[in-house]
Amino acid sequence: MSSSKKPIPGAPAAQPPQVPEQTVPHSPLPPKSDQRGPEMVSPTGVPTGAPAGSASQSGAYLTTAQGLRLSDTDHSLKAGTRGPTLLQDHHLREKITHFDHERIPERVVHARGAGAHGIFQSYGTGTRITRAGFLAKDVQTPVFVRFSTVAGSRGSADTVRDTRGFATKFYTDEGTFDLVGNNIPVFFIQDGIKFPDVVHSVKPHPDREIPQAQSAHDTFWDFVSLHTEAQAHTVWFMADRGIPRSFRTMEGFGVHTFRLVNADDQTSLVKFHWKPRLGVHSLVWEEALMINGVDPDFHRRDLANAIEAGAFPAWELGVQVFPDTDDEMFEGIDLLDPTKFIPEELAPVQPLGLMTLNANPKNYFAETEQVAFHPGHLVPGIDITNDPLLQARMFSYLDTQISRLGGPNFAQIPINRPQAPVNDMLRDGMHQSADYAGVAPYRPNSLDGGCPFHAGSQDGAFIDIPQPVAEGVKIRDAAATFDDHYSQATLFYRSLSTVEQSHVIEAYTFELGKCYETAIRERQLKSLANIDAGLCSGVAAGLGLPVPEPEQQPGNPQPSPAVSQVGRKWPTDGRVIGIVTDSGTDADKVLTARDAITAAGMVPLVIAPTGGMLTDTDEPVQRSYATAHSTEFDALLLATSETGEPVDPRILLMVTETFRHAKAIGGWGSAAAVLAAGAIDLSAAGLVLGEPEDVVTRVGELLTEHRVWKRFSA
């Protein structure tokens, strides 16, 4: 009797990778047995007779598109290890240009986004460090903000584990200023030439186009375990910041170090921060998975609903300020390394102004989809540094907009139009819609009376800050201070609370558990051993693999309490509270609770067995048992009655999920019986029983800490 062994989907390759990085060149591996390319035919359908695979790339060495072999694709060509990136770097330009044009028309990264309009109100505290007019006292500046995920397509879900984009367009009277950042202060890579590599690794596998919007697969972990400068960023989004509760509770960072100049031509180095008024809060992993199925538009819906309800989200813009020294270092940390952050305990964030988002877009495509950001959109008083990632972005973003938006005139699309006079001498091109006067779009000229004229500093011109460029050789390399890839990952992990650390271990275990190749898991464990022994052993236990010895002993950094999301209290504006009712509910008590929730600045949603009106009232219900789900609510109130009937299983599902996700639960009537039916111990943390007004008050107090964290540690 014979038996045939069927292949298992997702099985390792016939030639599995080895743990150490490959050093012996060889040709690309052949396709798997279940893969086949298109037939070799001519453009007119005639078979060519060429062997299968003859159109594939070949050769053991990395080359340019012209076949030129390359010795380095990890570093841009710079004027010395700390100098600016050179325009003559043909490899950087070819690599980035091709990457920028890979997908049409959605963004290569940050394809899925949500936007809103608002106002930035300056405090005037920034005038000592910058001459930027929008930071003068009491100046109000219109803004448009776009939040986004990084890896997924436009059709992907909102609550995937990912870095989030946080891009703000300031329509200042000196020109448009774009602050294009993320919700994590460090980045995967140190040099922009590596951006195509990290994005290619995290995108869906090219053979199957899966998984969508996820990093839990082999190619991503293969890259970050080999390119260890990515470890600092990776541990941030393996933590809870990778799954934000809302865009409204998400911190923003400019990532790079910028150079500011004030009215006296004095310069400072700064890092930009956005601090949400509601605090920084996240989902738990199971909750995020549920939301991806129940409501994949969760974050964009939450933002739009909050603005529509008048619970306008707000962030305070601030800066960490550093002396502009020759070495561009602070407390031993290289300010030009985008994989490093400066703990706020060493350099406090100094507030500059408040941004409030108060209007939703009228048309998603016209505004959120067509808005074009560029870190080179600067205003007088703000300039860039020689951060090699920022230097490459200065080229890449402009190039990308030309591809996505059909030509060089993307600034004329309404959402991108400056709210300052424009006289740029730029003419023609696709989608030109400006009505230009004059016949001489050049300088100098006499036919247009010499217009437009150069502006001086007294006229508000942008003046490039003179900066010495150190004498050196043009070289593909990085400064020695960029070599530390682990100390800040250690600092971040050890700054987290115990419950947050457990979430990090669970996230790594899940992500690496989705990899097919054991060698990749083992290699990443080696990096975790260099970060923290407890982190490594916890993940290794979950994967069923031995704990490796560290290649370098983790340091003992001073923790940064500002990194943790746990331990402080925050406003509860816009928090959503579900009120569960049934056919015998006391409607007066429900309305009392609803009014108390509204008065506290939160949002009540009444849940009933069916749609329609609350029993014996003309008050509408917002959710039925069929449409309500626990993930929509920050807390749940049980206003059920004593009916003697078994508890509806849909209520039990909501209650048990709410409890499991460490959310507050309150109630009256038969609330205790409902909790008991869900096998919930009435002495557990975060359960509040009593009269409606008192219950709302006490649940609101619990919500100031976002979750009932004690429930996780019980």
| Phi/psi at 176 (5° precision) | -85, 135
Do 374 and 423 form a contact (C-beta atoms < 8 A)? no
Q: Answer whether the bond into residue 444 is a cis peptide, omega within 30°.
A: yes
Can you count the helices (H) and strands (E) in the chain?
A: 16, 20
What does the H/E/C string look like for 180-222? EEECCCCCCCCCHHHHHHHHHHHCCCCCCCCCCCCCCCHHHHH
Q: Is 107 annotated as a binding residue?
A: yes
The C-alpha atoms of residue 50 and residue 213 are separated, in whole angstroms, by 37
The DSSP secondary structure of 477-518, one letter per residue, reads ---GGGG--SHHHHHHHHTS-HHHHHHHHHHHHHHHHT-S-H
Question: Which residue's entry shows tokens 């080895």?
Answer: 18
DSSP state of 496: S
**Rounded to an integer, what is the distance from CA 554 to the centroid of its chain?**
27
- In the set 110, 233, 485, 706, the catalytic residue is 110
The C-alpha atoms of residue 216 and residue 17 are separated, in whole angstroms, by 18
Q: Answer yes or no: 110 catalytic.
A: yes
Q: Is 443 annotated as a binding residue?
A: no
Q: Is 494 annotated as a binding residue?
A: no
- In the set 117, 182, 629, 706, the catalytic residue is 182
Which residues in 19-76 belong to E strands, given as ranges? none
Q: Is 195 annotated as a binding residue?
A: yes
Task: Report the interhelical angle of 90-100 vs 388-404 (nearest 10°).
Answer: 40
Do 661 and 634 form a contact (C-beta atoms < 8 A)? no
Q: Is 404 annotated as a binding residue?
A: yes
The C-alpha atoms of residue 270 and residue 267 are separated, in whole angstroms, by 10
Maximum CA extent, the chain = 97
Burial class (CB in 10 A: 0-12, 13-18, 19+), 599: exposed
User: How many Cβ atoms from other residues are within 10 Å of residue 616's Cβ?
Assistant: 10
Tokens, residue 377: 């959109």
Residues noted as catalytic: 110, 182
> Annotated binding residues, as ranges?
107, 146, 195, 393, 397, 404
> Annotated binding residues for heme, as ranges?
107, 146, 195, 393, 397, 404
